[in-house]
Amino acid sequence: MALSGLFEGYDPGGFFDEAVTSEGAPRDHYEALVRRLEGLTPHHLAERERVRDAAFRSAGITFTVYGEGEGIERTFPMDLVPRIIPAGEWEHLEEGLIQRVTALNRFLDDLYVGDKAVIKDGIVPQWLISSSDGFQRAAHGISVPHGARCLVAGIDLVRDAEGTYRVLEDNLRNPSGVSYVLENRAAMTRVLPRVFDDHLVRPVDHYGPSLLNALRRVSPAGADPEPTVVVLTPGVFNSAYFEHAFLARQMGVELVEGRDLVVDDHVVSMRTTHGLKRVDVIYRRIDDSFLDPVVFRSDSILGVPGVMSAARAGNVTIANAVGNGVADDKAVYAYVPDIIRYYLGAEPILPNVPTYLLWDADQRRHVLDRMDELVVKPVAESGGYGMLIGPSATDAEIAAMCRRVEADPRGYIAQEVVALSRHPTLVDDHLEGRHIDLRPFVLCGDRVEVIPGGLTRVALRKGSLVVNSSQGGGSKDTWVLASPEARTSRGRP
């Protein structure tokens, strides 16, 4: 069945296309959406885009782009064509994500409050942990109820040329982007309401209550049965401030800065107009090194002096736990499949992307010879910063990266380029394939829960593989379809 209308001339281009088979026919779960879109005219779409822009502006959804002088507030570009994940596929992903985050929590607990069995048993070398910037010795001995050290995890998934989902990287410190998941859905229901009619899309708007519930579950033993939760932000000048405020609003809890909190006798309180009010759980969105100037950077004025001692005394829970960076170190990433096997005695459900460890002389030689075919990433960065994409890099960039790798082999990893799957995306007045990834959000309180879907990021520039918002990426609403059995019991979103 040929494609028409907006799909006129649509070419999967030899990549795995999410919506269209290599023969050019819509995949089953995209059938209804494709038919709807074919019926839209460019004029229609332009109008829908105006509705979208108005929706985002009125919701005040912006992120700050820093250029010269003052930051500029921009709206985050959401493409009008949603991404659809069928029920069966999602079940597989959900299972894999729960498995991975469960193992990572066990790993972190082992390192910080356990007897480091994973090192003693030779699964992960001591030196790898010792040399990780994210390993926080100051977190030694601080436990978290239920071992929920990654209270919120954002696991970046990609699909390769065969359509296999693979984990690209783990974000276990302060993964951001969930506000776009919720806002994209809210905007989408206004922009293309009728498209929802043909689908049974699983809702995402329970994220706020679910997050609050998870945070309450990790409140210290002996805390008030109605524990006080706060969101700790670096302040209005942080580029993710919108999300911090958004989450506080979604949960109905106070959004505080470091200066609003005070530690007295190892108990944390917030300063209110009516005196000090005790705080039980801090959902912090500031980095480890700024959290407590007594034990970390003494020049930090964003943090709370004594908050680490309060956590150690069991008077407050800090989420995500301090020191999670060791587990999302991109060099440790290469060991995650073994970590899963070690703690859970099971094969990883979601495979990694093939990764080369550059301190190994053989692997390094191999990588340095093929720099133009590989992706090289610094181990401790996130957001795509400092990354080299071999096939599109200049000779000078490659030479510079070679020098950096030689100087600090522990500081980088190399990966095979994944031919990321593509998705129909609106370009001017028609649809073209653009590369995408997926960041689902996993919540751990007393149990592990995955929010259906997640943030689909799309590289809006033609041919680009970089989806990060700071690097010209956009996003898509992501629909997980309810399984047919659920059709009778669930209402529409």
Partner 1 sequence: MMPVTRYDVVYRTSIHYDDIVRASQNELRACPASDDHQQVVAYRTTTHPASRVLTYQDYFGTRVDTFGVREPHVLLEISAEASVETFPRALVTVSPRVAELRSPSFRDRYAEYLGRTGHTAWDDDMAEAARRVAAISGDDVVGIVLALHRFAHTSLRYTPGATYIGVDVNEVLAKAQGVCQDYAHLAVALCRSIDIPARYVSGYFFAASESTGEEVDGDVVSVQTHAWFEAAIPGWGWLALDPTNALQVGPRHITIGHGRDYDDVPPIRGVYSGGGRPNTQAGVEIRRQTAVAQQLQAQQ
Partner 2 sequence: MLARHAESLFWAGRSIERAESTARMLDVTYHGLLEAMPWEAERSWMDLLKVLWLDRPFAELERGVRAATVSEFLVFDPDNPGAILSSVGQARENSRAARELISSELWEAVNSFHLELRSRNLRADVEARPHELYGFVKRSCQMIAGVAGETMPRDDGWRFLMLGWMLERAEMTCRLLDVRYSQLVTAGATGGFHHWLQTLKSASGSEAFRRRYRASMDPADVVEFLLLSRTFPRSVLFCLASAENGLARLEAGRPTLTRPQRLLGRTRSDLEFLDSHELLEGDLHVFLDQMLNGVRQVAESVALQYFRNAQEHDIHALDPYGPVLELG
Q: Which residues bind partner 2 (CB under 8 A)?
A: 58, 60, 236, 245, 248-249, 254-260, 262, 270-276, 293, 298-301, 305
- Choose among partner 2, partner 1, none what residue 256 binds, the Cβ cut-off being 5 to 8 Å by kind: partner 2
Residue 470 touches partner 1, criterion: CB under 8 A:
no
Closer to partner 2 by Cβ: residue 227 or 258: 258
Interatomic CA distance for residues 493 and 452, integer angstroms: 12
Stretch that binds partner 1, among 125-133, 197-205, 462-470, 471-479 (CB under 8 A): 125-133
Nearest distance from C-beta of residue 310 to partner 1, angstroms: 9
Helix (H, G, I), strand (E, B) or coil at 395: helix
Nearest distance from C-beta of residue 147 to partner 2, angstroms: 32
Interatomic CA distance for residues 23 and 30, integer angstroms: 14
Q: For residue 7, what are the contacts with CB-CB under 8 A and spacing of at least 6?
A: 34, 37, 38, 424, 430, 431
List the beta strands (DSSP E) in 103-234: 152-159, 165-171, 229-232
Do 126 and 296 form a contact (C-beta atoms < 8 A)?
Answer: no
Do 292 and 306 form a contact (C-beta atoms < 8 A)?
Answer: yes
Residue 113 touches partner 1, criterion: CB under 8 A:
no
Write out the binding residues for partner 1, residues 436-465 only, by CB under 8 A: none
Nearest distance from C-beta of residue 385 to partner 2, angstroms: 27
Stretch that binds partner 1, among 4-12, 97-105, 134-142, 394-402 (CB under 8 A): 134-142
Nearest distance from C-beta of residue 326 to partner 2, angstroms: 25
Closer to partner 2 by Cβ: residue 22 or 272: 272
Per DSSP, the residues of 413-461 read EEEEPP---EEEEEETTEEEEEEEEEE-EEEESSSEEE-SS-EEEEE-S
Closer to partner 1 by Cβ: residue 56 or 290: 290
Stretch that binds partner 1, among 69-77, 161-169, 306-314, 442-450 (CB under 8 A): 306-314
Do 168 and 437 form a contact (C-beta atoms < 8 A)?
Answer: yes
Interatomic CA distance for residues 68 and 256, integer angstroms: 29
Residue type, 359: W
Stretch that binds partner 1, among 47-55, 197-205, 308-316, 463-471 (CB under 8 A): 308-316
- Choose among partner 1, partner 2, none what residue 264 binds, the Cβ cut-off being 5 to 8 Å by kind: partner 1
- Choose among partner 1, partner 2, none what residue 70 binds, the Cβ cut-off being 5 to 8 Å by kind: none
Residue 295 touches partner 1, criterion: CB under 8 A:
yes
* Cα distances (Å, whole numbers) of residue 295 to 187, 308, 387, 439: 43, 8, 31, 32
Stretch that binds partner 1, among 123-131, 370-378, 398-406, 414-422 (CB under 8 A): 123-131
Interatomic CA distance for residues 375 and 355, integer angstroms: 10
Site track for partner 1 across 223-262, x = CB under 8 A: ---------------------------------------x
Nearest distance from C-beta of residue 125 to partner 2, angstroms: 32
Helix (H, G, I), strand (E, B) or coil at 168: strand
Nearest alpha carbon to residue 334 among 359, 310, 315: 359
- Choose among partner 2, partner 1, none what residue 266 binds, the Cβ cut-off being 5 to 8 Å by kind: partner 1
Nearest distance from C-beta of residue 414 to partner 2, angstroms: 39
Interatomic CA distance for residues 443 and 227, integer angstroms: 18
Residue 264 touches partner 1, criterion: CB under 8 A:
yes
| # of chain residues touching partner 1 (CB under 8 A) | 24
* Cα distances (Å, whole numbers) of residue 155 to 100, 158, 400, 477, 483: 9, 10, 30, 17, 23
List residues binding partner 1 (CB under 8 A): 125-127, 129-131, 137-138, 140-141, 262-266, 293-295, 298, 305-306, 309, 312-313
